[in-house]
Chain A
Amino acid sequence: MSGKRRDFLKNIVRGGALAGIAGICAALGMRKNKYQCNGQCGDCKPDSSAECPMGGDGYVWQIDPEKCTQCGRCATHCVLAISAVKCVHSYSMCGYCDLCGGYQRSDAKGRTTGAENQLCPTAAIRRKFIEDPYYQYTIDEDLCVGCGLCVKGCEMFGNGSLYLQVKHDLCVNCNECAIAAACPSGAFRRVPASDPYLLKGGSANA
């Protein structure tokens, strides 16, 4: 009797595990297939009569930089393991300052590129000397988690050239964006997929 029960349980565990894995994969796949859109196919452009092949409504999520308060929820609420929200940089607005509020900690021991001086916890901002006293700052998107810490420093002391945007090569464009639902300032909104970024300072962005 106990041998039959053991066999029965074994079969159930195997079958259940397979069913569970298949269900999770199907759910993830369905969501990705259903909502992923980065506006690159062009079918949503005003001069196109074609319907969206992804079944989308021709709109994607984006952050209005003027409303963003850098609360940090972009880093914690995205359904992706590492958020699709990244910091971008408007070179045309940047002051290229040596003492950069977006790059350096307020209690930095020096103005070198040492980790102890950097404000970004993931070291996602790269600094390059141009000419005294100018430095160029670029974002390493692979390291950026979209926390907005640098944006806060730049807004407070600089020209606001660092800001957050949803990157559409990463975003899966969920129908109910988890970050939008959690955003305390209403900075998330739907924008046409044919014009998916809300850029500061024209197009001169990283």
Chain B
Amino acid sequence: MGKRQKLMKEYGIVLIFIVLVIVMTILSPNFAQPKNLINILKQTSINGILSLGMMFVIISGGFDLSVGSIVGVTGVVAAYLGMGEHPLIVGLLACIGLGALFGLTNGIGVSVGNLPPFIMTLGMMTGLRGLALVISGGQPVTGISKEYVNISSGFLFGVIPYLAVYFLIITVICAFILTKTVYGRRVYSCGGNLLAARVSGINVKAMQTSVYMIAGIMAGIAGFLLTARTTVGAPTAGDGYEMDAITACVIGGVSMNGGTGKWFGVVIGALIISVIANGLDILGVSSHYQKIIKGIIIIVAVLADVNGKTKKA
């Protein structure tokens, strides 16, 4: 009985995902068309990458509201660098570098400055959005090269969208770091019990700083990709993306208290968000209703998580 419950809790999310896909297919046969499934992969990629970064932060016991704004700033920078005058790698490195820098700022604020993560990242979220507007002069940056656009529209072997490939690569890297390295274990320890982690010799300040840098780097990559996908570097891009990243983590079973959560839960969480949006769009349901549904799912997911915890105790 206990073992079954444990399995349900760990892999229940996969079951929910499968049920959701079946329901959507029944409601609209066009949902299961290969072209549509590929679209879902494309649409999940950017939020997926953001969510994986957020995952590190939340598991370590923190919280990051600024990733959406980082996407905006890096997206604008990437657009300026992506007009064909520089090799594309320059834009990518700039985004990763900026993301790491902003993440570092977050991390230092939390670990050294002892600011509550919510407050620190809230300040960064607001400030960076302003920075994006200043750099771009308030307007979307247009004129990126076809080569850059192709990064997000192209297909590997003609079938698998590049965006999904990047998402897969990043998922593999993140999963490996989280589950197979000492660093990963330490992330969980910090989230589980910060004091115990410090006492057992873990450099907690370094840990905290590093997870925010990871989230920042992921956001930088997401910003780079989003500009390619939308063909413009909009200063308002990424607005609200931090919410979807957090939602994916929550649905995926990452506890807001830190210390628990599996990478595949986060991936499935991101997929669920896209599947719902995609399915409802195909059915012609207004995005306003979709927001209500998303909200309900978040609350239900957290309820399940909280209940799971009290049952364990």
Q: Do A and B bind each other?
A: no
